[in-house]
Structure formats: structure tokens, C-alpha cells
Structure 1
Amino acid sequence: MNTFLQIHPDDNVLVALQDLPQGTEVGFNGSTITLLKEVPAKHKFMITDIQTGDPITMYGVLVGKANAPILKGELITTVNIQHDANAFHEKEGSIEWQKPDVSKWKNRTFMGYPRKDGQVGTRNYWLVIPMVFCENRNVSVIKTAFEKGLGFAPTEVYNDQVQDLVSLYKSGDLNAIKTYKATPVTDNTKRNTVFSNIDGVKFLMHEGGCGGTRQDSDALCALLAGYIHHPNVAGATVLSLGCQHAQVSILKDALQKLNPAFDKPVLVFEQQKSSSEFDMLSDAIRDTFLALIEADKQPRQPSPLSKLVIGLECGGSDGFSGISANPAVGHTSDLIVALGGASILSEFPELCGVEQELINRCVEKDTSDKFIRIMRAYESQAESVGSGFYMNPSPGNIKDGLITDAIKSAGAAKKGGISPVVDVLDYTEYVTKPGLNLLCTPGNDVESTSAEVGSGANVVLFTTGLGTPTGNPIAPVVKLATNTKLAKRMPDIIDINTGTIISGEKSIEEMGEEILEYVIRTASGEVKTKAELLNQDDFIPWKRGVSL
């Protein structure tokens, strides 16, 4: 295994692939670099001496500048460098892309749920949605009733643990309480024995719909419409209070905008028009059950891989993210695009510094202009509340080697592979074109994942270097570890280990192909992701201008 890596020939820093002690001598380009301090794995050190104000280059792009002179072999830190990134401008040149060889998947299919509008689902869910936070409690009542009644309730291992502890407490055995260990379960979902073709009833509780701006409630309605329109959804039950900003009429308009011929069943119950809360909930449960009977009539069928729409997401990133998991996912994205499918790259604050590359990859100038307009508006909004993209890296990112936003962004963008950009979508806009799509979202993991699924992703690939326990209510989220230590430490969270790229056991291309095979099995229902097994049904709408 190599002990260091130069990511791009133009880089003036090297990445430590393992902990390198102070005094280690590194041979590079015919010269010797002596490390002046310990360089932890994932962190970077200088190839040459540089002066105050000189550029720091990684991935072949500007990622920072020196705050003070930095010596050859010295570790770069938040003290001696600061964020800096290249400016961007209008599209220049044309995009030429050599598609990867996808002949081995030419006749492959996945077992999906075809919908009348041409989309194909990887799961078959019924949704229960509140139009406003006031209805969250009522949604919870329906959730408990359906999960227990239909066999979708998670195994109550923690409830059992509390009961055991209560029994020990009542017996006076405090020592037994201190040494008590619960037994984990490998599958935290019970088998539904009522409906064979329904994967579950899902519930999108949120804190919006009223009390904020009209723009926020309109965006919420558009996001909820995207979920109802989503191919993984057979239909929805909607609970409305009645007086909130997020009116049912706005939701219906959003559905018609997505599909003028929209014909999925949407059951609406408005509490302020009901004779009682009990009657509303009882009617909602009865009518939803009748709808489930119809939804159960849709079996899985062989479907072309061109019907896959893959969300590309990262969270809890580390210094290996841009070397292993992200470029591997990028190759998977290129394979899916070459097969006629679509992929979605989001998290716009984490594209800072690589904008020009993406602009030049846009197929149409109108598309690149839209990207420029959205990026500049987003950055301006962030600055107006006293922030900026440069403040994006989290303490965990910084600890593990991502010390400027541009370093983080250059690695994060690798999830998008090298295929052309066919479309740029603003928040809640839906994917309509096969190929790589850019979607405006914050870098916040759950807000971004929620948005990707709302824009049509029927599988999400989520890379993580630190370990992020998140999922989505209706789309399977495949979690990929950037390093082997994480995969071994959190096996209940991680689906795929890409740390074999760091160790040299596999190439980026080999791992990308392995990921595609896993996606096909997941899309077919042969595999449940760890997020699904743990019931990680995270959903957070974005209030624009607040999140990075």
C-alpha cells in the first residue's frame, strides 16, 4: 500500500494515506520530503516551500492560499491556510465525453414497479402526509395503527430493554443493570403478511406549512408533490388542518405541474371540516386501507436500467471521500448515464471552486447560465445572514482533513463523474432528462437527500467517511464507507466499503461497477439497505437561505 498520494499532477500537496510520523522521509519526483510534524492519515503536506499568499492546489484546482510561509514537508492546517477558490464565468468550449463500456449491462433489467406515467419504482409505498405541523400528532396515530396492524412496525428491541431494566430495578439488582447488554437484531423490520406487493406505509412528518414565509410553504407543497409523484409511491393520504399557508389547492396545482395527467389516488382529510378528530382519523384509516388493497395489485416487473434515477449524496465526509467513495460513485453515475438512466448531483455549497468545470460540462448554454444564476444567488443569500460557503466544513470534516470548503467541494464533486450536465434544477424541480442533473440543495445531509428523492431519485448513493446514520422514507439509501476502518467499526450503518481503493485492492472503475451491481439488486428488492433495516426515514424540507 502506498503511504501518500498526489491526486492531480498540478497539486502542490500530497495526501497521507496512513499516519506518517514526524521525520518520515517521502520520496517524490526524484527528491526527498522530510515531514516536519506528524501527518495524520487523510491530511496533506507541502511538496515545496511556499510564501504568504501563495496558492494551495488539490484535484488540479485552487483550494486555498497560505496565511504564512509554509515549508516543504509541513502539514497544512486551518492556521496556515485559508479558503480560496477560482472564480467562474460563462461556459467556454464544448464537452466531449467518451462513454464507458456498458455492454455487459446492455440486456440487464431490474425488477421494478412500472407506473402509468412511464416512471418505474424500486419500492411500492403508500404515503401519509400532513400539510402542516399541527397534523403531526394525527399522523403519528395513523402511523402506530398501520405499522402494528400491517406488520411494518420495527422490532421493539429497545422497549424490551427498558422492560428488562425495570424488572431488574424492581428486584433490587443494581449491579445487573450496570452490566446489562441488549441483544441487537439483524433485521429491524417485520414481514408484512397482509399485502405482498406493498413495501410499507410511510409518514412524512415535518415542522412547516404555516408560521413561516409563503415561499417556504409553497416550496413545501412542491416538495410533497414530488414525493407523491415519485415512482416509489402508489398514492397518498393527506391530512390538512384547513387554515394553514400550505393549502391542499397549492399541492394539487404542484401535482398538475409535474404531470397534467396525474391520476394517482390522493385521499384528503381536512380536520376543520370534520365532525370530530375521531371521525376524521377513522375515515382516513378505512379509506387508506381500501386504497392499499388496490395498490397491492401492482407486482414487480422486469424494467430497463434506463429507468434508474440515482441520487448522489455525501455526509460526514473525510479526507478520503474525494479519493475513494466519491470517484467510485462518480463512475457508477457515468455507467448509469451511458445506459440511458439519470443521476442527480446536489449540495451546491459543496461545488464551490469547481463551478467552471461543471459550467463547461453543460450541454446547453441556457443550462450553464441557470447554474451560474442559482449559485450566485445562493452565495449572496448565505452572505446576507452573515455566513458564506467558506464556512461550510463541519468540525468533523476539518478533523479528518477537509480544512477548507474548496478542498471539500473538489472532492464532493467527484460524485458526478465526468459525463455531460444535461440539466440544472432549482429546488423541488423534477428530473425529466436522462443524464447528469445538477439540483440546488444545501449541503445538509437530510435536506439534500430529501430534495433528491423529491426530484425523482429512486435509489440514493450516500458516501460517508465518518459514519452518518440517515436514510429516506421512500427511496433506498445505499451507504458507502470511504475507508475500511469505518466499514468495520459501523457495519450496521455501512452497505459497501470503498476503502479497498485506498489499500490498492480495487480500482475506482472496479468499485464503480460493483456499486452498480448492488444498485440493481437493491432496486429489484433483493437487498434491503442498512438504512431501511434501521428504519432511518429522515425527511427535512429546506427553508431557503438558511442552510449550508
Structure 2
Amino acid sequence: MLHKVLRIHPEDNVLVALTDLKKGEKVQFEGKEILLASHVPAKHKFTMQKMDPEDKIYMYGIIVGKAVIPIAKGEVITTENIAHQTAPYTGKRKPFSWKAPDVSSWKNRTFDGYHRPDGQVGTANYWLVVPLVFCENRNVDIMKQAFVEELGFARPNPYKSFVREMKQLYLQGNQEGLQQVGIETLEQSGEQKLFKNIDGIKFLTHNGGCGGTRQDSEALCALIAGYINNPNVAGATILSLGCQNAQPAILKEKLAKIDPDFKKPVIILEQQEEGTETQLLTRAIQSTFIGMAEADQLKREPAPLSKLTIGLECGGSDGFSGISANPSLGQVSDILAALGGKTILSEFPELCGVEQELINRCTSDEKAEKFVKLMRAYAASAEAVGSGFDMNPSPGNIKDGLITDAIKSAGAAKKGGTSPIEDILDYTEIATKPGLSLLCSPGNDVESTTAMAGSGANIILFTTGLGTPTGNPVTPVIKVSSNHKLAEKMPDIIDVDTGGIISGEKTIEEMGDELLEYIIQVASGKVQAKAVLLNQDDFIPWKRGVSL
């Protein structure tokens, strides 16, 4: 049954509109009647009582804002009548206990993955080609042109024939035809892959490696090392110019830090040593092909669900994200934690306002202190460049009901479920502890997903209420819609629809189970995530302190 309004937490003093509500409409809630003082669009919130300036706004049981002008009872909250505000946070204030969900039905479940020598299990099998510096981007692109089509990894591009058809109509002088011509649906390539057990060869380009700060180059090398270490990667070819800040020696040092006995094949070639471009590329292509041929010998084998490392992401969020899609991810996170798997919650600017709750969930004072230190340092660096966490909500977020960063954060944190926080990771640190880890990254979708894959995620769950195509080169990104309307409008990017929670058709627990079943199919290579089908290979290293 579809209810008109929802109170998320007993201590909240605003209600969420689950459908469009009209000014003058009388809303019944818990035996009381609220006369709406304004139109309240679906996903937005309205007050349960009259509010004066400085009165606190509560959602999810925490402070998410304050009134800046008088607000009538039953009036919609907006950027004009409330402002961002959060409660202060310190170290751990109280002990934490957790009742794990019943996982008896999942204990013996497996997925079919690629088993690596270090014990990790990949949900895919990729070869990487990565430059250490932007000067090598062109050579990486040339290798991409040489490899992708010849090895059968290219997907058809219907837009080429679309342009060709429009060109012919234009040459014929058929202006009316230009307005009517359409495009065929994107189909799978009929070309057979040469390497049956390799999911693709991925080419990562970037704008770093030289210039900037030495810390930027250190972080870039650590990120690339994390990608090579990712369980979904079989091996890598690294192109270096030679004189840049991001030196091969730093990359090797970062790999050794991850695993002193690192066993994956890593081919490093330096242009200033090789000589001509032809000599460099010939050697790079030849050694990469031989490496891929060896990686193709690996086949999928059953692995327990504890071998999953799932990144938890949101982007293009709306006022329903924190009610449907994000809690569904939280349910999956709790199940994985109970099974001994790993989950990663990132986007530190979107944990603003829920810090104390997360601190209390940390399994040690040391971890809690690390989280506090990272949060405060990040907030200070953002403020130093004239910004702040309060500036985080995007125009799309605000339009669809996420008025302050604290409202957005309170809903975003639901992706992390309720389990203990086992580890706090700085940017590029690897997730090694079973259970939930918090990873310091920006709220920027691509920078955050880039970071989670670098920290070891072999699947990423990505919730959205507005729609976003974001993907990742090596880790399947599963898109989870917060509402039916989006899933119907953008079926080419949405994998799973949690709108049934809003309509009352499904519970969060049921949706979590459905989502985990889908994850197993993707992790086993039986279903491809929509972002993978679209070749959405987004990769943006984070320049610390610049991005929210």
C-alpha cells in the first residue's frame, strides 16, 4: 500500500512526501491532522509544527539543518527557509553492539570467480594498460586502437552508421529526412573474442604524473598499484616517459607495500630508454599480447561470498535514495559483514553530520581517532580553497529534495548498514579486514568509484535517483534506482529497481536479498552490468583537497 508521507525516525520533526501533495490538503499522520501550508513535491519534506529561526531540523534522528526564517506548520522546507547545520562530534561516546542478520540461507552460496595467487578472487579478468604520466596517453590510445577491435573486445557503434546515413541525406538535399532518420538499438558485437577467459583489455589515461605536487605523483602511483592489485586484474602494462615525477621505482615500492611477494605480471616500459615510438609500441604490444595469452589460461571457479569486496556508492541522488536504494545497499553490506566479506563506504563529504554515529560504530578508539582526523583535515582543506561540505549538494540533489549536505549525508550513510566499522582507510589504502571499512574519498562519483576499485572492490553498487552512467574500467558497477520512474525512463543504465520500497510492494530486507542474488549473477559473469555493456570506463585520480 502506498502511503502519502513517511517519518523516517521517531525523533524527526519533518515528514517526507512520498507523492505530490497540494497546498491546503489535509494529511493524516499518527492520528493527527496537518494542513499543508504549501505545495510539497514528492521526495521533499515539510514541517510537523511551526518553527522559529534557529530551530533545529531533524531527519534520520539527527540534526540536518536549522530554520533561518519562520516556517509554518505543514510548509515545505527549501534552501530559502533552512540552512545546513550539524551536531559536533568527538571520540567514541558509547559502546556499540550489533545484531547481525540471519545469513543461514547465504552461508553455502558461491559465485564463480577468478582465483588469484594471493587468495583474492576476481569477478572479472582484465589486462590493464596504464601510463605513469600524461605524456604517454597518446601511446596508450594507439595501443587501444590496435588491440580492441583485433581481439574482439570492441562493441558496435551504431552512431557511426547514424552519421553516415545523415551524411547521405544531406548530400541528397533531403532536409526533411534529416529530421526523421532514427538509430537502431545498440547490439552486442557478433565478433568472437580471441581470448575466451579475458573480459577485456582496459586502457586508463589521466592528466597526472608530473607537475603538481610530489604528493600527487605518490598518490597516483599508489592508486595504479591498487588497480594492478585489484582481484579483477590479471596483469598490467605500464608506459613511462622517463623523466616524470611518478617514477617506476615508486610504483614498484607501492606494489611491494601491498604485497612483498607480489606475483602478477607487470610490464614496465620507458620511452626514453626504448628509443623510437615504433620500438616502444612494438615491444609494448608484443609483451602485452603474450601476457594476455597466459592470463587467458585462468578459468572461473566457485568461491564463497566472503571473497566479495563491495564498494558502496551513490550519485545523482534524490529524496528517495536514503529511504529505498541506500538502505537496500546497507542490508547487503550487513549480510556480507556477517558472512566475512568486505564492504567499502567512501565519499567523506557525504558523511557530514553522521560522524558521531559512525565514530561510535568503530571497533577501536584508534580507528575512531583516525576517522576524526581524516574528516577534519578534509573539511579544513575544502574550506581553505573557499568551499566546504555545506556546498556539496548539487542542483539536481536540491531540486529532488536533498536541501542540505546533512540531509544528503544522513541518507547516503545508510549504504553502510548497521554493522561495526572494522577499518578506516585513507585514500589508496587497501581493504583487508572483513566487514565494513570507511574510505576517504571525494563525493565526486567518478573520483570515488575510482578510489574504491583502487582499494580492492571487485563489485561496486551505485545508487541513483536521477540517473547517471558512471562505470569503472575494472570493477562492474551495478546501478540501483531509488524509484520506479527512473528505472522505466533509463532502462539502459539501471540494473536493479528498489522503487518497490517506496510503493510499499517490498521491504528493505526483501530488496537486499534480491540485490545480493543479482550481485552473484554479475560476479559469476552470467549477467553483465549495464555500465559494462556501455563500456563506461570512468577513471579520475583524486588531487587531494581540490574536489568535494
TM-score tier after normalising by the smaller chain length? over 0.9
Change (3 A) 1:149 1:355: same
The residue number in structure 2 matching 1:254 is: 254
CA distance in structure 1 between the aligned counterparts of 2:231 and 2:192, rounded to whole angstroms: 21
Deviation of residue 50 (structure 1)? 1.2
Deviation of residue 192 (structure 1)? 4.3
Find the residue that maps to 1:491 and give its secondary structure: coil
Matched, 1:393 2:410: no
Find the residue that maps to 1:207 and give its secondary structure: coil
The residue number in structure 2 matching 1:329 is: 329
The residue number in structure 2 matching 1:540 is: 540
Correspondence list, 1:430-469, <5 A: 430-469=430-469
Deviation of residue 186 (structure 1)? 4.2
Deviation of residue 206 (structure 1)? 0.6
CA distance in structure 1 between the aligned counterparts of 2:98 and 2:18, rounded to whole angstroms: 31
The residue number in structure 1 matching 2:18 is: 17
Q: Cα RMSD between the aligned structures?
A: 0.8
The residue number in structure 1 matching 2:198 is: 198
Name the aligned partner's letter for residue 476 of structure 2: P
CA distance in structure 2 between the aligned counterparts of 1:11 and 1:231, rounded to whole angstroms: 43
CA distance in structure 1 between the aligned counterparts of 2:430 and 2:204, rounded to whole angstroms: 19
Deviation of residue 275 (structure 1)? 2.2
The residue number in structure 1 matching 2:34 is: 33
The residue number in structure 2 matching 1:109 is: 110
How many positions carry a matched residue from both structures?
547
Tell me if structure 2 keeps the 8 A contact 1:471–1:538. Answer: yes
Find the residue that maps to 2:27 and give its secondary structure: strand
Moved over 6 A (4+): none
The residue number in structure 2 matching 1:123 is: 124
CA distance in structure 2 between the aligned counterparts of 1:221 and 1:273, rounded to whole angstroms: 20
Residues 520-540 of structure 1 show CA distances to partners (whole Å, capped at 9, x for unaligned) of: 111000010000000000000
Deviation of residue 306 (structure 1)? 0.4
CA distance in structure 2 between the aligned counterparts of 1:132 and 1:146, rounded to whole angstroms: 21
The residue number in structure 2 matching 1:316 is: 316
Deviation of residue 37 (structure 1)? 1.2
CA distance in structure 2 between the aligned counterparts of 1:69 and 1:37, rounded to whole angstroms: 14
Tell me if structure 2 keeps the 8 A contact 1:314–1:445. Answer: yes
Matched, 1:421 2:449: no
CA distance in structure 1 between the aligned counterparts of 2:174 and 2:301, rounded to whole angstroms: 56
The residue number in structure 2 matching 1:139 is: 140
Residues 339-385 of structure 1 show CA distances to partners (whole Å, capped at 9, x for unaligned) of: 11000000000000000000000011100110000000000001111
Deviation of residue 191 (structure 1)? 5.3
Name the aligned partner's letter for residue 60 of structure 1: G
Tell me if structure 1 keeps the 8 A contact 2:157–2:186. Answer: no
Structure 1 alignment gaps of length 5 or more: none
CA distance in structure 2 between the aligned counterparts of 1:545 and 1:71, rounded to whole angstroms: 40
Tell me if structure 2 keeps the 8 A contact 1:152–1:190. Answer: no
CA distance in structure 1 between the aligned counterparts of 2:190 and 2:460, rounded to whole angstroms: 23
CA distance in structure 1 between the aligned counterparts of 2:145 and 2:26, rounded to whole angstroms: 61
CA distance in structure 2 between the aligned counterparts of 1:365 and 1:531, rounded to whole angstroms: 39
The residue number in structure 1 matching 2:80 is: 79
The residue number in structure 2 matching 1:405 is: 405
Residues 209-265 of structure 1 show CA distances to partners (whole Å, capped at 9, x for unaligned) of: 111111111100000000001110010001111111111110010000000000111
Name the aligned partner's letter for residue 134 of structure 2: F
Find the residue that maps to 2:536 and give its secondary structure: coil
Residues 248-297 of structure 1 show CA distances to partners (whole Å, capped at 9, x for unaligned) of: 11001000000000011111111111221011111111111111110001
Deviates most, 74-83 or 21-30 = 21-30
Deviates most, 27-36 or 517-526 = 27-36
Change (3 A) 1:192 1:91: farther
Deviation of residue 68 (structure 1)? 1.0
CA distance in structure 2 between the aligned counterparts of 1:285 and 1:162, rounded to whole angstroms: 32
Deviates most, 274-283 or 426-435 = 274-283
The residue number in structure 1 matching 2:184 is: 183
Tell me if structure 1 keeps the 8 A contact 2:153–2:193. Answer: no
The residue number in structure 2 matching 1:168 is: 169
CA distance in structure 2 between the aligned counterparts of 1:405 and 1:354, rounded to whole angstroms: 11
Tell me if structure 1 keeps the 8 A contact 2:46–2:75. Answer: yes
Matched, 1:342 2:332: no
CA distance in structure 1 between the aligned counterparts of 2:276 and 2:190, rounded to whole angstroms: 33
Tell me if structure 2 keeps the 8 A contact 1:153–1:190. Answer: no
CA distance in structure 1 between the aligned counterparts of 2:197 and 2:303, rounded to whole angstroms: 16
The residue number in structure 2 matching 1:364 is: 364
Deviates most, 93-102 or 421-430 = 93-102
Structure 2 alignment gaps of length 5 or more: none
Deviates most, 308-317 or 100-109 = 100-109
Tell me if structure 1 keeps the 8 A contact 2:156–2:187. Answer: no
Residues 109-145 of structure 1 show CA distances to partners (whole Å, capped at 9, x for unaligned) of: 1000010101000000000000111111110010111
Matched, 1:213 2:221: no
The residue number in structure 2 matching 1:480 is: 480
Correspondence list, 1:299-314, <5 A: 299-314=299-314
